[in-house]
Amino acid sequence: MKNIRNLLFDLDGTLVDSSATIGASIDFALDKLGVSVVGHSPITSLIGMPLLDIFRHQFEMTDEQAEFAISHYRQHYDQLAQAGSRVYDSIHQVLAILRGEGYRLFIATVKPTAIAEKVLTDLELRSYFDGIAGASMGSERRDKASIIAHALKTFELDPSQCLMIGDRDQDIFGARKNGMPCIAVTYGFGSRAELDSAGPHHVVEHSEEIVSFLLNPTMAK
């Protein structure tokens, strides 16, 4: 960890509990298309997946139907203006400490960049971050590996000096594909079994443990 200077954070499930906002927006979109949620996976298990994949694969929509669903989702999500979302405990303190220690902080999220910017601003987190890399508004860049690659290219980051922090297996796989380690957090939306099977570099149960691991890796549990 001595060479790590850049920290890439996932957003939903790592910094912010957005389950109520995302769930309400998915329900709104499904209702607009007359789709029932009965018999489908719990909404929290879907958070972190690209919207196009959620609507196409989880709700068996055509590409055209999925695009309509995404439009309705974003309309409702924007109207909610983070109502129902909250910053996880101690996140403000953790980010402030890490910046104070000289780390550069970035966001790597499946949310489109403009939407992630608004979420971070509304929840008073934007000032901690040097840059935000999100999905494209279309389907061109939506998987986590390509989003992390986009962050590396956009902000001219050396992967050997970078660490990903996230709550789903796609964060771990995406980081590995881009040549960097990943800390998995268990307080988000991914199960412990999901995270362990993906093989993260380290696992933490609370955000404060991120600081402990980075500053005192030999003392971290």
pLDDT digits (tens, 9 = 90+) for 211-221: 999 998 765 55
pLDDT (0 to 100) of residue 19: 87
Q: What 3-state class would DSSP assign to 105? A: strand
Cα separation of 210 and 212, whole Å?
Answer: 5
Average pLDDT, integer, range 74-95: 89
Query: Would you give the DSSP letter of residue 175?
Result: H
> Residue 12: what are its φ and ψ, rounded to 5°?
-70, 125
Cα separation of 11 and 159, whole Å?
Answer: 20
Cα separation of 14 and 88, whole Å?
Answer: 8
Average pLDDT, integer, range 64-82: 88
Encoded tokens for 105: 């902080």
Encoded tokens for 127: 């000032």
Please tell me the pTM assigned to this model.
Answer: 0.88
Does 146 have pLDDT greater than 90? yes
pLDDT (0 to 100) of residue 169: 96
Instruction: Return mean pLDDT, the chain.
Output: 91
pLDDT digits (tens, 9 = 90+) for 109-137: 999 898 899 999 999 999 999 999 998 87
Does 57 have pLDDT greater than 90? no
Average pLDDT, integer, range 34-45: 73
pLDDT (0 to 100) of residue 66: 93
Does 142 have pLDDT greater than 80? no
pLDDT digits (tens, 9 = 90+) for 168-210: 999 999 999 999 999 999 999 999 999 999 999 999 999 999 9
10 is catalytic: yes
pLDDT (0 to 100) of residue 52: 87
pLDDT (0 to 100) of residue 40: 61
Q: What 3-state class would DSSP assign to 186? A: coil
Q: Which of 10, 167, 169, 171 is catalytic?
A: 10
